Chain A
Amino acid sequence: MLSILIWLPVAAALVGALIPLQRAGGLLALGGALGALGIAIALIAGYSGHGYAHVTDVVWIRSLGIHYALAVDGLNLFLVALTTFSFALAIAAANIRDWPRPRVFYLLFALAESAVLGAFLAQDLALFVAFFDLMLIPFYLLLGVWGGPGRVAATLKLVIYTFVGSLLMLAAAIALAVLTSEHSGQPLSFALTTLAANPLHKGSQEWIFLLFAAAFLVKMPAFPLHGWMPDAYREMPLEVLAVFSGVLSKVGAYGFLAIALPIMPLAAVHFQTLILVLALCSIIYGSAMAFTQTNARLIAGYSSVAQLGFITLGIFAFAPQGAQGAVLQMVNHGLVVAPLFLIIGVLAARAGGSDDIRDMGGIAFRAPVLATFFLIVAFATLAMPGSGNFVGEFLILLGLFKTKMVFSIIAFGGVVMASVYALRLFIRAMHNRVGPKVASGEMSLRNALVLAPFIGAILLFAIYPQLQLHRSESTVTGSIVREQIDTGQNVRVAELTGLPAGWIAYGPNAETTIATGGANK
């Protein structure tokens, strides 16, 4: 089931690439993406709320103990759904336009979807690393071949930054598995559960954690490692950028939750303050940059930096609410930023092809539907109460408040700044004086059809965030349980919140961890 989910998009696109019809590539890719979306919805409907589901576990490389292990849990369930959803709509949006060399374009697009899904679903560290590295390649080519005029320089930056991170992570992953097998005396295994069950010494954990963190922070991108972001965002085709920003950045955050925290709890606690400071810097820097930029893509890009900063804060709060909020926010941000880029594309088409908000303005008068859609997205971006993002940010800040109050207060400033840049973007583009080259007009039906599902999903999560929270609760809490023990908070947390359902499931586990953790020290 999960293998079909992963490989369906690329298989469909491959068929499309081999059929000598120019149109077929796009339509088949779209079909594959929709099929994947259908499977993902079925997964959500069927998920019970506890543990792993649809486990696939086949030996991939026997000699290295690498398994082709996939599973759905509460953590990746909605990220998978987000991925299939965004990709399906982005491919649909791409179908509106004509592309040079369409078959290769859609093949790469679908390959990107498969790789991202693989990274989310992988339950084997080596498999995760493979998919994590693999997803870079299609984006690299998509940016390099179909991007804007400065694309070659942008690809170099993108690839060097992200690949450096990936390769470091590769070395770290192998070192982790080898050291773990030496430490525990078991045969070499990359399975996440095995690695999490046999934690390493603190010293080994620390350097390995840093390498992983570098890879994830580059991908997100977080403050000091975001150097590739402006160029890449400026040059990437918008349909690609929508998924790139909406989905790929989440892989980094997901990596922290699914891999770094459960496997290296001691190091995560050790570096908590460092990561929190980086996250705060991301929020402040991203917000500040977002309201000084005039390029709409960069405004959205820097706002992503800030949002990912929030997500990181939530993860490293080491409190259930924080992590829950982070996961919710990952999905919300994906749902918000993807249509934002698509809307920017629609706007740019009305502003003489320019992405600069100084060239836009006054578009709203003749495009009420577009304006409505944009407004909903903008409100969601600034985490208006009543939006899903509000719930997410609230949970994050709540979680953080309990553990690190100072950070929480500073982070709150970021929420305020978000409203400034989101509204600035909206007002400058839609209202204000009509730009010199603006030829306003309502968006086409096809564009609306692509955007409408996004808007619907945003509204759905605004009204009913529990849809996700219930399902992710148990897993998410489980992934940070070690840190709580190590920071000695679990008693306090338990007192404050009362134990959630999934929390109890980890009770016995937690006791054994305390025992082994004590032995390791």
Chain B
Amino acid sequence: MIAAALIHPHGPYIDWAALSPLVALVGGSVVVLMVGLLRSRFARTQVVPFLTLVSLGVTIGFVIWQWHRHVAAISGALAFDQLTGTITLLVAAGGIAATLLSWRGQAPRESAHGDFYSMMLGSITGMVVLVAAQNLVTLFVGLELLSIPLYVLCATEMHRAASLEAGLKYLIVGSVGSATLVYGLALIYGATGSTDFSGIAGSISQGHSSDVLLLTGIALLTVGLAFKASIAPFHQWTPDVYEGAPTPVTAFMAVATKAAAFGVLLRVFDVMLPAEHLNWRPALLVLAAISIVVGNVGALGQSSLKRLLGYSSVAQAGYILAGVAVATTLGARATILYLVVYLLMNIAAFGAIVARERMTPYGDDFDAVAGLGAEDPWLAWPLTIAMLALAGVPATAGFIGKFFLIDALVGAGYTWLAILIVVGSMISLGYYLRVINAVWMRSAPGPSASAAAGVPVIAGGSPEADALGQTHIELRFAAVVFGGATVFFGIVPQPLFDLAQHAANTLSGAL
């Protein structure tokens, strides 16, 4: 085959229609980068984020246009199927939210708007590539394309040591994760002699299963991806980076990175390695259990909202991983559904937190949201709904997500893990309710006007003195829309189930 290719090297056929979402993202990022170089202040501060939104919107449009196609593009390196489509929709929605959150934020101002949004679009491109990847090489390139812009984005509030520290920490930990992942990929290639997912799956089913080299490769691959998805015990970076990074970037990392990481976990385990499920399933189940415990217990004593959400994301990663670990179609559907729900809840929460960060001098401390219920119901309700949804209260999408996950776990015979999820939810009440207590049952800590005069630089906060007292219409919009969607899909969840079913259909052949 190689000899033939050498004699007649033809470039592969490129299905531009299938690639169109990627093209929109890459093109958008280049255009945004260029527009960011314009001299006009208006062009940089307003047109650039607007173009980012346009690019993401066009991406979503292309995904919907290509929804029912199932294409292996560019010599089968990228699969544009409904799983890719779903995750693309998710990360694009996360990107739109992050763009809204950072519209008037500090981070793009300090790092030049064009660069900031261009890197964000680049990271989204990486996520799409990662989920679409059909061979190990593309997988790795996608992962790096996801990560490298994020390392920089974390450090974009450059006047703040915590932000730089977050960027550096994420870089180091992320590189360790990448290195582990590459090692794992190399061993898998060594054991199976193929870089294609289908080739690997074929090789395993022909009798190379349970080979130690392959198992070690799978273990290292799992560890590498666990770093990205912040699954305990590979989560240590998460609270620090979440706290240090600019809050819009934190929101973006929390929802989009997680969606991409779990998308690729589904792809890897259910497409590439289904024949090995007897070996990887116990490991994933244990990781899920550890994450649930560590995340929920870790979040209990936090005083920073971002750290709290960081630990909460570890716990939620545990829940989502449980859906991957059961290795059933139902589990895959539950995973995807929970990813959607997770996006809605977190954006609503982060929208409110970013707004309070800009309106009060307390950064992301609990004081920032104290008395919010009396002061500003349009932010208080989304935050309350988000917290309740994260805890899994009915009439919110979080309940539906947990319900489906437990259903999938019990259906696969892992009732113990379902009980553990329930126990984790109980523990999680301890910290989600603290936020709600602060919102509704405490009064605001003194008039914020007096503090605005000399804003002290609080570590972990993002004091933006000139922005105090603005109305932040775009933040309200994001919080209210995503909070409303959380309630809406809690009451009318069938569209989410359909979406999850579409996405998991791609995998069902392998399971």
A touches B in complex, CB < 8 A? yes
A171 within 8 Å of B by Cβ? Answer: yes
How many A-B pairs have beta carbons closer than 8 Å: the answer is 95
Chain B positions 390-411 with a Cβ under 8 Å from a chain A Cβ = 392-395, 399-400, 402-404, 406-407, 410-411
B480 within 8 Å of A by Cβ? Answer: no
A349 within 8 Å of B by Cβ? Answer: no
Query: In the bound complex, do residue B422 and residue A130 qualify as a contact, i.e. CB atoms below 8 Å apart?
Result: no
Q: How far is the CA of A160 from the CA of B493 in the complex (A)?
A: 27
* B132-140, B245-253, B274-282, B426-434: which lies at the interface: B426-434
A439 within 8 Å of B by Cβ? Answer: no
Query: In the bound complex, do residue A170 and residue B406 qualify as a contact, i.e. CB atoms below 8 Å apart?
Result: yes
Q: How far is the CA of A505 from the CA of B185 in the complex (A)?
A: 68
Query: In the bound complex, do residue B395 and residue A159 qualify as a contact, i.e. CB atoms below 8 Å apart?
Result: no
Chain A positions 170-190 with a Cβ under 8 Å from a chain B Cβ = 170-171, 174-175, 177-179, 182, 188
Chain A residues with CB below 8 A from B440, complex form: 141, 144-145
Return A352 CB to nearest CB of chain B, in Å.
26
Q: How far is the CA of A65 from the CA of B108 in the complex (A)?
A: 47
A380 within 8 Å of B by Cβ? Answer: no
A501 within 8 Å of B by Cβ? Answer: no
B441 within 8 Å of A by Cβ? Answer: yes
Q: How far is the CA of A164 from the CA of B427 in the complex (A)?
A: 9
Q: How far is the CA of A186 from the CA of B418 in the complex (A)?
A: 22
Chain B, 406-448, contact with A by CB distance < 8 Å: what is the 0/1 string? 1100110001001101100110011001001100110000000
**With A63-B494, A171-B422, A174-B403: A131-B394 Cβ-Cβ less than 8 Å:** yes
Query: In the bound complex, do residue B422 and residue A167 qualify as a contact, i.e. CB atoms below 8 Å apart?
Result: yes
Query: In the bound complex, do residue B395 and residue A174 qualify as a contact, i.e. CB atoms below 8 Å apart?
Result: no
Chain A residues with CB below 8 A from B333, complex form: 63
Q: By the criterion of a CB under 8 Å from any partner CB, how many residues of chain B are at the interface?
A: 37
CB-nearest residue of chain A relative to B377? A104
Chain A positions 128-146 with a Cβ under 8 Å from a chain B Cβ = 129-131, 133-134, 136-137, 140-141, 144-145
**With A62-B497, A63-B494, A160-B430: A155-B441 Cβ-Cβ less than 8 Å:** yes
Query: In the bound complex, do residue A129 and residue B373 qualify as a contact, i.e. CB atoms below 8 Å apart?
Result: no
B179 within 8 Å of A by Cβ? Answer: no
* From A134, A151, A152, contact of B394 by CB (8 A): A134
Q: How far is the CA of A151 from the CA of B440 in the complex (A)?
A: 12
Chain A, 35-70, contact with B by CB distance < 8 Å: what is the 0/1 string? 000000000000000000000000011111000000
CB-nearest residue of chain B relative to A66? B403
Query: In the bound complex, do residue A167 and residue B392 qualify as a contact, i.e. CB atoms below 8 Å apart?
Result: yes
* From B406, B410, B430, B494, contact of A61 by CB (8 A): B494
* From A100, A126, A174, contact of B410 by CB (8 A): A174
A228 within 8 Å of B by Cβ? Answer: no
* From B400, B410, B425, B436, contact of A167 by CB (8 A): B425
B374 within 8 Å of A by Cβ? Answer: yes
Q: How far is the CA of A104 from the CA of B380 in the complex (A)?
A: 12
B200 within 8 Å of A by Cβ? Answer: no
Query: In the bound complex, do residue B395 and residue A130 qualify as a contact, i.e. CB atoms below 8 Å apart?
Result: yes
**With A61-B400, A62-B494, A171-B418: A134-B441 Cβ-Cβ less than 8 Å:** no
A15 within 8 Å of B by Cβ? Answer: no
Q: How far is the CA of A316 from the CA of B421 in the complex (A)?
A: 32
Chain A, 340-351, contact with B by CB distance < 8 Å: what is the 0/1 string? 000000000000
Query: In the bound complex, do residue A133 and residue B399 qualify as a contact, i.e. CB atoms below 8 Å apart?
Result: yes
Chain B residues with CB below 8 A from A60, complex form: 494
Most buried by B among A101, A141, A164, A167: A167
Return A18 CB to nearest CB of chain B, in Å.
11
A163 within 8 Å of B by Cβ? Answer: yes
**With A133-B394, A137-B393: A145-B493 Cβ-Cβ less than 8 Å:** no
Return B371 CB to nearest CB of chain A, in Å.
11
Chain A residues with CB below 8 A from B426, complex form: 160, 163-164, 167
Chain A residues with CB below 8 A from B52, complex form: none
A168 within 8 Å of B by Cβ? Answer: yes
Query: In the bound complex, do residue B437 and residue A101 qualify as a contact, i.e. CB atoms below 8 Å apart?
Result: no
Return B67 CB to nearest CB of chain A, in Å.
19
A27 within 8 Å of B by Cβ? Answer: no
Query: In the bound complex, do residue A134 and residue B433 qualify as a contact, i.e. CB atoms below 8 Å apart?
Result: no
Query: In the bound complex, do residue A178 and residue B419 qualify as a contact, i.e. CB atoms below 8 Å apart?
Result: no
Q: How far is the CA of A437 from the CA of B391 in the complex (A)?
A: 46
Chain B, 231-252, contact with A by CB distance < 8 Å: what is the 0/1 string? 0000000000000000000000
Q: How far is the CA of A471 from the CA of B325 in the complex (A)?
A: 51
Return A126 CB to nearest CB of chain B, in Å.
7
A156 within 8 Å of B by Cβ? Answer: yes
CB-nearest residue of chain A relative to B440? A145
Query: In the bound complex, do residue B392 and residue A101 qualify as a contact, i.e. CB atoms below 8 Å apart?
Result: no
* From B399, B419, B501, contact of A171 by CB (8 A): B419
* From A155, A167, A174, A178, contact of B437 by CB (8 A): A155
Return A281 CB to nearest CB of chain B, in Å.
25
Return A3 CB to nearest CB of chain B, in Å.
13
Q: How far is the CA of A140 from the CA of B388 in the complex (A)?
A: 12
Return A426 CB to nearest CB of chain B, in Å.
35
Query: In the bound complex, do residue A145 and residue B373 qualify as a contact, i.e. CB atoms below 8 Å apart?
Result: yes
Return A207 CB to nearest CB of chain B, in Å.
9
Query: In the bound complex, do residue A159 and residue B429 qualify as a contact, i.e. CB atoms below 8 Å apart?
Result: yes
* From B374, B406, B407, contact of A101 by CB (8 A): B374
Q: How far is the CA of A151 from the CA of B437 in the complex (A)?
A: 10
Query: In the bound complex, do residue B403 and residue A126 qualify as a contact, i.e. CB atoms below 8 Å apart?
Result: yes
CB-nearest residue of chain B relative to A145? B440
CB-nearest residue of chain B relative to A134? B394
Query: In the bound complex, do residue B394 and residue A144 qualify as a contact, i.e. CB atoms below 8 Å apart?
Result: no
Chain A positions 91-108 with a Cβ under 8 Å from a chain B Cβ = 100-101, 104
Query: In the bound complex, do residue A156 and residue B433 qualify as a contact, i.e. CB atoms below 8 Å apart?
Result: yes
* From B394, B415, B441, B494, contact of A175 by CB (8 A): B415
Q: How far is the CA of A148 from the CA of B506 in the complex (A)?
A: 55
Q: How far is the CA of A104 from the CA of B378 in the complex (A)?
A: 12
Chain B residues with CB below 8 A from A137, complex form: 388, 393
Query: In the bound complex, do residue A61 and residue B441 qualify as a contact, i.e. CB atoms below 8 Å apart?
Result: no
Chain A residues with CB below 8 A from B411, complex form: 178, 182
Chain B positions 328-353 with a Cβ under 8 Å from a chain A Cβ = 333
Q: How far is the CA of A134 from the CA of B385 in the complex (A)?
A: 12
Return B273 CB to nearest CB of chain A, in Å.
26
Query: In the bound complex, do residue B429 and residue A170 qualify as a contact, i.e. CB atoms below 8 Å apart?
Result: no
* From A64, A159, A177, contact of B404 by CB (8 A): A64
Chain B residues with CB below 8 A from A152, complex form: 437, 441
Query: In the bound complex, do residue B497 and residue A61 qualify as a contact, i.e. CB atoms below 8 Å apart?
Result: yes
Most buried by B among A133, A141, A171, A175: A171
Return A239 CB to nearest CB of chain B, in Å.
18
Chain A positions 318-376 with a Cβ under 8 Å from a chain B Cβ = none
Chain B, 362-377, contact with A by CB distance < 8 Å: what is the 0/1 string? 0000000000011001
Q: How far is the CA of A325 from the CA of B366 in the complex (A)?
A: 50
Q: How far is the CA of A302 from the CA of B425 in the complex (A)?
A: 30
Query: In the bound complex, do residue A174 and residue B441 qualify as a contact, i.e. CB atoms below 8 Å apart?
Result: no
Q: How far is the CA of A129 from the CA of B403 in the complex (A)?
A: 11
CB-nearest residue of chain A relative to B419? A171
CB-nearest residue of chain A relative to B402? A170
Return A118 CB to nearest CB of chain B, in Å.
10
Chain B, 208-233, contact with A by CB distance < 8 Å: what is the 0/1 string? 00000000000000000000000000
Most buried by A among B333, B403, B419, B430: B403
Chain A residues with CB below 8 A from B395, complex form: 130, 134
Return A415 CB to nearest CB of chain B, in Å.
37
Chain A residues with CB below 8 A from B394, complex form: 129-131, 133-134
Residues of A at the B interface (CB closer than 8 Å) are: 60-64, 100-101, 104, 126, 129-131, 133-134, 136-137, 140-141, 144-145, 151-152, 155-156, 159-160, 163-164, 167-168, 170-171, 174-175, 177-179, 182, 188
Contacts A141-B440, A171-B406, A175-B415 known; 9 new A-B pairs at CB < 8 A: A61-B497, A63-B404, A131-B394, A152-B441, A160-B429, A167-B425, A170-B402, A170-B403, A175-B418
Give 4 nearest A-B pairs by CB, closest first.
A130-B394, A63-B497, A134-B394, A178-B410
18 pairs of residues in contact across A and B, judged by CB atoms under 8 Å = A60-B494, A62-B494, A64-B404, A129-B394, A134-B394, A141-B440, A144-B440, A164-B426, A167-B392, A167-B426, A168-B422, A170-B402, A170-B422, A171-B422, A175-B418, A178-B407, A178-B411, A182-B411
